[in-house]
Chains A and B, each alone.
Chain A
Amino acid sequence: MSTYYQIFGGKINVVTSDPSNPIEGQVWYNTTSEVLKYRVVTTSAWASGGNLGTARDALAGAGTQTSALAFGGKTPTISGVNNTEEYNGSSWTGGGNLGTARYQLAGCGTQTVALAFGGYDGPANTGATEEYNGTSWTSGGSLGTARRDAAGAGTQTSALGFGGAAPSTPEITGATEEYDGTSWTAGGSLATARRGLGGAGTQTAGLAFGGTTPPITAATEEYNGTSWTSGGTMGTARNETAGAGTQTSALGFGGYDGTANTGATEAYNGTSWSNETSLSTARQNLAGAGTQTSALAFGGVTTAPIANTEEFTGGGVGVTRTVTGS
């Protein structure tokens, strides 16, 4: 059997106190605590969060991992709901209902200052916009192009809506609209018209990724407040996905890859996507909130709409571990 010395060419350091700034892979024996320790850098991970009160898919989300908002969506009966739920980092509680029950809507903002727009309200696509104040929703200006399955980014008073399916022909649109807290005005169109895409960022630094044109695409585009330009291609092409973060620090997770639901998670650095740890429960038509390193995934559909919430924690954190006999 090989020894540590034979493999690394040196002996394990014996110290009375842990090194102040250990590097990845460093091993030492602490004579004070009488334990063997080593340093690792963590990988990213999804942990369980509190379940939604209403299992649903095709919902929208806003906020952060510890202060999120879920609204709209549909239940197994394929009918839109108006439920809003607020997340505090461990559980969801009911908020004010949307005025227009709908699914495949888009959203952005924070838990207490959120925006809901577009979607399908049963008979038709809607352009209805509603503003949340932490308690109730009130009507805002309608989208110029009523649509469902679009993506959103930004804040309640500086929002971006892009892509989706419109009632017109061709149905799938690349139309982009900008909201100023009162009304929507046209922005530059996506180069690749698509629906079921993911979104992140702000009104002047937006990110669009995935979706279906059809077929399902991995294309990414970046918005500068005026026009969209191509970004790095996702590793996994996907539709009905979700996103979080900013244009240069985004996270894309979940969706449908053309064959099956996926839990694939990817991080964007402003240039390219890299793989992160996948969701525990692969799903499509989910919603997301938060940042690249502290995101939230909730709802969606497997074989039926689900209530599962998962909390993402980015990797790259140094942790000291103790070698145990077990």
Chain B
Amino acid sequence: MAKNYQYCVAECWGSGFITLEDAIKIRISGFPGNVWQVPAHNSDANLWIMKVAGSFKTVQEAQAIVTAEVEAAQAAWDALPEDQKNRPGNNSRPTDIVLPE
């Protein structure tokens, strides 16, 4: 089955990480663990990954990174005392994220 997306790990440094030109050319989506999703088989996406010095990941590797981040956040949330879970403004328990192929 043809892949629709490819993944990399890169740290967002701020301005210039995703330029307006990048964003117009390709859809770039960020996930926990500094995982970034871009279109597969796309030269602009490949150039962007090179620009940000991204480390290519398979979808399985990217999923493992995201899942580890989510599970750590879920464990931290679960460990909170009940009064803190119910404290105004506390966010709900982080939900699982499934990365598409």
Contact = CB atoms under 8 A, between A and B. Distances in A.
Contacts of B29: 263, 278, 280-282
Contacts of A47: 18-20, 22-23
Interface residues of A, number: 43
Contact of B14 (A50, A148, A285): A50
A149 B69 CA distance: 27
Interface in A38-74: 42-43, 45-51, 57-58, 74
Contacts of B19: 47-48
B12 interface: yes
A326 B12 CA distance: 28
B73 interface: yes
B89 A58 contact: yes
A292 B20 CA distance: 16
Given A50-B15, A51-B12, A51-B13, A303 B73 contact: yes
Contacts of B88: 104, 120, 125, 148-149, 165
Place the interface of chain B in its size category.
20 to 34
A285 B94 CA distance: 13
B18 A309 contact: no
B85 to A, nearest CB: 10
Contacts of A104: 88-89
B24 A45 contact: yes
Contacts of B69: 303
Nearest to B25: A45
Interface string B72-100: 11000000000010011111101101000
A277 B23 contact: yes
A293 to B, nearest CB: 13
Interface of A: 42-43, 45-51, 57-58, 74, 78, 90-91, 103-104, 120, 125, 148-149, 165, 256, 259-260, 263, 277-278, 280-282, 284-285, 301-304, 308-311, 313, 326
